């Protein structure tokens, strides 16, 4: 027994020396190979405003970037809540556009990014301007946690703020919609939102059944609501990023 224990002790000591020497060598030499990552050229720099001018509101517009080019912006909406899928929105200097990705991404609200446009296509879907066929690996995150502030608008001017992150005050959902959840278990939900005690103007709050809040009840109060302005054909829509964008706890209007 003593001999067996002594042999085990010797083996253990040898292993410790080997492991220690490996750790020490790697730490001392710091000889790890550097990753072979080629920087993506910046190329021609466009502003979001310039991209929107190129698009010009044309439903059949399509332009694929074949040369190096970039656009900069701040992420105002991401995929975290599940209400967007392979989508994000960026904004800069009062202009915004949708990024339609060919895979899910790690983008987060507040990321300052450079979007490399080579190989992507500037187009639109049902009237919404977007950069399509965009590889998430071609989006370079420059900085995190940048300030993202909504612009306060009224429903009468919502069509002027496509892809923008907005806030609507004195808002409330249609009374019959407050008996529902944000979406159906297996389908999108379209809920009608009024503002300023005026039911002559409205916008659809559209929610995916895959969102984390799809089956939460629609609030019955009045207050402020934030979201991204989108459009489907001619129907204006508001897309929530999460329930943190909803603050409807005040007393409802009486019509």
Q: How many domains does the chain have?
A: 2
pLDDT grade for 31, boundaries at 50, 70 and 90:
low
Alpha carbon distance 139, 171 (integer Å): 35
Q: What would the mean pLDDT of 204-232 be, rounded to a whole number?
A: 98
Q: In whole angstroms, what separates CA 28 from the centre of its chain? A: 42
pLDDT grade for 17, boundaries at 50, 70 and 90:
very low
191, 137: one domain: no
For residue 16, being part of any structural domain is answered with: no
For residue 117, being part of any structural domain is answered with: yes
For residue 28, being part of any structural domain is answered with: no
**pLDDT of 30 over the 60 cut:** no
pLDDT at residue 24, as a whole number: 40
Q: What would the mean pLDDT of 202-212 be, rounded to a whole number?
A: 98
Domain boundary among 95, 119, 143: 143
Residue whose C-alpha is closest to residue 238's, from 195, 186, 192, 198: 192
Alpha carbon distance 107, 76 (integer Å): 10
pLDDT at residue 45, as a whole number: 98
163, 246: one domain: yes
Report the phi/psi class of residue 233: left, alpha or beta, with left for phi > 0 and alpha for psi in -120 to 50: left
Average pLDDT, the chain: 89
Q: What would the mean pLDDT of 28-52 be, rounded to a whole number?
A: 77
Give Cα separations from 225 to 158, 193, 229 (angstroms): 13, 10, 12
For residue 4, being part of any structural domain is answered with: no
Q: In whole angstroms, what separates CA 42 from the centre of its chain? A: 23
Q: Are 48 and 70 in contact (CB under 8 A)?
A: no
Domain span at 61: 44-143
Residue whose C-alpha is closest to residue 90's, from 81, 54, 105: 105
pLDDT grade for 121, boundaries at 50, 70 and 90:
very high
Domain boundary among 123, 143, 163: 143
């Amino acid at each position: 027994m003593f001999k067996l224990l002594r042999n085990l002790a010797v083996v253990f000591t040898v292993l410790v020396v080997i492991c220690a020497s490996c750790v020490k060598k790697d730490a001392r030499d710091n000889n790890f190979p550097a990753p072979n990552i080629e920087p993506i050229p910046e190329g021609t720099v466009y502003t979001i405003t310039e991209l929107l001018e190129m698009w010009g509101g044309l439903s059949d517009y399509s332009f694929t970037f074949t040369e190096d080019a970039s656009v900069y912006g701040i992420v105002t909406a991401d995929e975290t809540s599940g209400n967007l899928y392979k989508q994000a929105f960026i904004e800069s200097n009062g202009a915004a556009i949708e990024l339609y990705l060919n895979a899910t991404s790690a983008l987060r609200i507040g990321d300052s990014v450079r979007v490399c446009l080579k190989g992507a296509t500037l187009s639109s879907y049902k009237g919404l301007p977007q950069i399509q066929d965009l590889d998430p690996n071609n989006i370079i995150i420059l900085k995190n946690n940048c300030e993202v502030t909504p612009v306060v608008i009224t429903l009468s001017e919502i069509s002027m703020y496509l892809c923008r992150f907005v806030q609507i005050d004195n808002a409330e959902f249609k009374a019959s919609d407050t008996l529902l959840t944000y979406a159906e278990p297996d389908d999108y939900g379209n809920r009608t939102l009024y503002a300023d005690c005026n039911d002559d103007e409205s916008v659809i709050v559209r929610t995916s059944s895959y969102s984390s809040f799809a089956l939460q009840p629609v609030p019955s109060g009045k207050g402020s609501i934030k979201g991204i302005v989108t459009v489907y054909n001619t129907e204006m829509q508001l897309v929530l990023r999460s329930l943190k964008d909803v603050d409807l706890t005040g007393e409802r209007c009486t019509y």
